[in-house]
Amino acid sequence: MSTAQPAEGPITRYLEKLHARVAPVTDGAVATYIPRLADADPDLFGIVIATTDGQIYCAGDSAHAFTIQSVSKPFMYGLALETHGRDEVLRHVGVEPTGSAFNAVVFDEDNNRPFNPMVNAGAIGVSAMVAGRTYAQRRRAMTECFARYAGRPVKIDEEVFRSERETGERNRAIAALMTRAAMIGGDTEAILDLYFSQCSVLVTCRDLALMAATLANGGVQPVTGQRALDGDYVHDVLSVMNSCGMYNYAGQWSYEVGIPAKSGVSGSIIAIVPGQMGIAAYSPRLDPLGNSVRAIAACKAIAEDFGLHAFRAPTYGTAAVRSIRRGDSLRSKRRRSTHERAVLDRRGGEIVVAEAQGALFFASTERLVRRVRDACADARFLILDLRRVYAADTAAARLLAALEADLEAEGKLFFFIHGDSARFSEEFQELLRGWDRASVFNDRDEALEWCEDKLIAGDEPVPRAQLTFSLARLDLFKGLNLDDIHEVEGVARPFVFEAGQHILREGEPGRLLFVIAQGRASVRLNLSQEGVARSIRIAVVEAGAAVGEMALLDGGPRSADVVADERVVCYGFGVEELRTGLAGRPHILPTILTNLARDLAERLRGANAHIRALET
C-alpha cells in the first residue's frame, strides 16, 4: 500500500502558485462522446509531482477520482512487453506515429498491424495480448498491473465501463477490421470489454503521478519499492510515449515540452522525467485534439520553469548532499577563549553546514532542499557549501531561492559558499549576484567564523571592552592568583601592531611568546605550487590566545606567519625570562605550560574534526 503523504515546502508552494495562474483558463470543452464523461465538473483541476524517491507535492484537486482512459495505454503496453517480449509485441503493434486522430480507422498495411500502442487500434491489439484463459483472469491481471504502479488497489467504475461499451461502435469497427485482417484473434467482444475496462479504472491525480514516477524510476514503484515493470522495457514505453503519446499533437509536444507524456480524454496527462520525477495534471476541458487545456499549460510551465526538456545539455550526478554538520562539532579556524568555546559547545548546533556535490538540477536539488529543511528545524544559520558542485541549472536556482525565502520568513540566515560560479547556469549566477554581499563567501571557514561571532555576541555576558588588558582573564594564566599575575606582569612587555603588520615571521628564531589582549590576527602558511607562491590562512587568533607558544616548548624557529588583521595589542614574554625570571614562584611556569597544553589539545581536537569533515 502507498503510504507517502503530500510534502510541504518550496515545490508545493510553486505548484499552488502555478495552479492559481492556470485555473482561470476556461478554454476547451468536456468530452461528450462517452455520456458518463460529460458529467465531469469542468472546473476540477489538480497538479501533482512525485519524485523517484517517493516525495509527493500536490496542488488543487489532487485527490479527486476520475477514469484513467487512454493514460492506461503505456502501462498496458509495458505489461504486453513483459509478457511476450519486444519482438513478439512488435509483430502485432508498431511504434510509428499516425498523424491521425487517436480513434482513426487506420493501420500499417505493409506490416498488417496498428501503427502504435497509444492509439485505439494499437491499444486494442495490446489488450488482445494480455495473458489469461478467461476474461476475468485477464481483467484481474490488468487491475493488478495498475495497482503495482499506483501502490494501492484500483477498481473499475462499472457505470463508465457500461457507458463505454454502449457507445463504442467506432472501436467495434476497428476491432472487426483487425479481426478480419488477422491482427487479433479470439473473442473480439471480450477483447473490447478488456479495453473498455482498462479505460474505466478509477485513479486520482496523485495515483497518476506515482504511476509516472514508477516509469521515471526504472519500473520500481517509489513508495512501495515493488517492481511494476522490468527495467529492460521502460525505455520502450517511454520512447513510444515521446513520439505518440499526445495523439497528433505529439510532435509539437516533443518540440516544446520535450518529455515523454500520455493524455486521456477524461482530462489527465502524465509526463515522465527519467531518473527524476513523474508529473500528473488533471482538468476535464479538452482542446480539439482531445488533450486537457489546463493540464498542457501546467506541464509546459513545469518543464520550462525547471529546465526539464530532454534535449537540454544533460547534467549528471550522484547524491547531492555530501555532508550535513553543525557548529558544535565543526568549528572555524579561529582560536577561541574558554568562554567562547563554551558558548559554541552549547549553541553551536544552531549553525548548520551543508556541503553539496555533483550536479544540481531539479531532482538532486529537491532532495538537497528537503534534507536541509529537516536539518534547519532548530537552527538559526545555514551555510550551503557549493564548492564541490560542478554544474547548477535553472531549476536549482529557483529551488534554492525558494529555500532562502522560506528560511528568511522564519528569521533564519542563509549563506552561500560558491567557489567558481562560472560552472553554474546564467540564472544561478544571477541568483548569486543578487544576493546580499554579506551572504556569499568564497571560503567555508569565513562563513563559519561569521556565524560563530553572531552566536557569541548574542551570548556574551561581559562587555568585550572589559576583557582586554587583563592578564587574569587570559586563558594562558588561568589558575594563577593575583600575586602570581603581578609577577607575570613584571616580565611582560606591551606591543602594538597595526593591520597588515607581521607579529611573527615564518623561519625567524622563537625568542618571544605573545598573548593577544586586543584585536585579531591570522596565522598564515606560505606555500609554493608549480613556482607560484601563495599564503593560506590556517587559523584566526584574538584576545586571550597565545601565538609563538612553541618557542616556550622547543625553542625552534617560527613555523608560520602571524599577521594583524586589525590593530592588535598584545603582551610579549621573553622565553628565557619566563623560565628564569619567575624563579621565586616555581609553580607559575608549570601552570602556564598546563594551560598551553590544554589549548594545544583543544586545537588538535578541532583539527581532527576538520580532517573528518574533509574525509567524509
Strands 440-441 and 561-564: unpaired
Tell me if 373 sits within 8 A of 321, measured CB to CB. no
Strands 321-326 and 202-203: unpaired
Tell me if 122 sits within 8 A of 102, measured CB to CB. no
Tell me if 14 sits within 8 A of 249, measured CB to CB. no
Neighbours of 242 (CB within 10 A): 19
DSSP 249: G
CA distances from 286 to 267, 271, 297, 512, 592 (A): 7, 17, 12, 85, 84
3-state secondary structure of 601: helix
Distance between CA atoms of residues 540 and 356, nearest Å: 26
DSSP 329: T
Tell me if 118 sits within 8 A of 238, measured CB to CB. no
CA distances from 152 to 3, 203, 341, 549 (A): 9, 10, 53, 69
Tell me if 421 sits within 8 A of 428, measured CB to CB. yes
Distance between CA atoms of residues 481 and 477, nearest Å: 9
Tell me if 62 sits within 8 A of 204, measured CB to CB. yes
* φ/ψ bin of 201: left (φ > 0), alpha (ψ from -120 to 50), beta (otherwise): beta
Sign of the CA dihedral with 386 first, then 391, 393, and 399 last:
negative
Distance between CA atoms of residues 388 and 393, nearest Å: 15
Long-range Cβ pairs for the range 242-245 (8 Å, 24+) = 242/310, 243/95, 243/96, 243/97, 243/116, 244/95, 244/96, 244/97, 244/98, 244/115, 244/116, 244/117, 244/118, 244/119, 245/74, 245/118
Report the catalytic residues.
70, 73, 195, 247, 265
Distance between CA atoms of residues 43 and 31, nearest Å: 14
Element (H, E) at 273: strand 268-273
**Largest distance between two CA atoms of the chain:** 118
Distance between CA atoms of residues 7 and 17, nearest Å: 16
